[in-house]
Amino acid sequence: MITRHILLAALTVSAVERTAAQCGGSGRAAFDAYWQGMNTEFADSATSPLTEEARRHFNGLDVFPFDSAYCVRATFTRVSDAEPFAMATTRTRTPTYKVHGLLRFTLNGTGRTLEVYESVPPHPGHEDHLFVPFTDLTNGDETYGVGRYLDLVAPLGPEVDLDFNRAYNPYCAYNDKYSCPIPPKANHLITPVRAGVRGGSGH
């Protein structure tokens, strides 16, 4: 089961999620494999966030076509003195995170920055799991209104391949029973990111 930063009884991470993104010639093949794995998860009653009714009619997630321009090389700067904070969610739950570091990259012709977060305390057995929630100018129209997520695996080197073609929705885009972190304002990209998953319930 692929963890999506929601309130679940158990936290597990699939091989699909933990495979680091690699920009380059293998990007399209990795894109196809990634979303095939996601579709398998969504179709399986044991792992799907969908309601029973929605799962019966599920024919695959709607995603933007692969675009290599949205797989970017970012420089990573570690932040070692960040204070933990309570991240807002779509419900009353406020999980604790802290900034793990900063990613700086160029997207759509402009330099941009995203914060990378780590859970405090780390989820047992998943201490290397890092979280990059973000919003952009497509939210509420072409993509889910709350925002979308990317995952990374620590340790990060000085350069990181950041693949927005893997951007996925929080589970609360599909089912109101879940509680999902809302991307902090620092992670708003003032550009449309037409990559990754489309749609969502529009909360």
Whole-number Cα distances in Å, 73 to 30, 58, 137, 145, 158: 16, 34, 21, 26, 10
Query: What pLDDT sits at residue 16?
Result: 46
20 pLDDT band, cuts 50/70/90, is low
Identity at 191, one-letter amino acid code: T
Domain range summary for the chain, segments of one domain joined by + = 15-187
Distant-in-sequence, close-in-space partners of 195: CB < 8 Å, separation ≥ 6:
64, 67, 70, 164, 165, 167
CB atoms under 10 Å from CB of 115, counted, come to: 21
Letter for the amino acid at 89?
T
Cis geometry, peptide bond prior to residue 184 (ω within 30 degrees of 0): no
Strands 148-153 and 85-86, how do they pair? unpaired
Tens digits of per-residue pLDDT, 147-175?
999 999 999 999 999 999 999 999 999 99
What is this structure's pTM?
A: 0.89
CB 89 within 8 A of CB 104: no
Asked whether the beta carbons of 99 and 117 are under 8 A apart, the reply is yes
> β-pairing, 71-78 with 159-163?
antiparallel
Round the CA-based radius of gyration of the chain to a whole number and report it: 16
The H or E element containing residue 83 is none
Cα dist. 114→93, 163, 174 in Å?
A: 23, 13, 25
pLDDT digit string (tens) for 53-93? 999 999 999 999 999 999 999 999 999 999 999 999 999 99
Q: Are strands 85-86 and 96-107 parallel, antiparallel or unpaired?
A: antiparallel
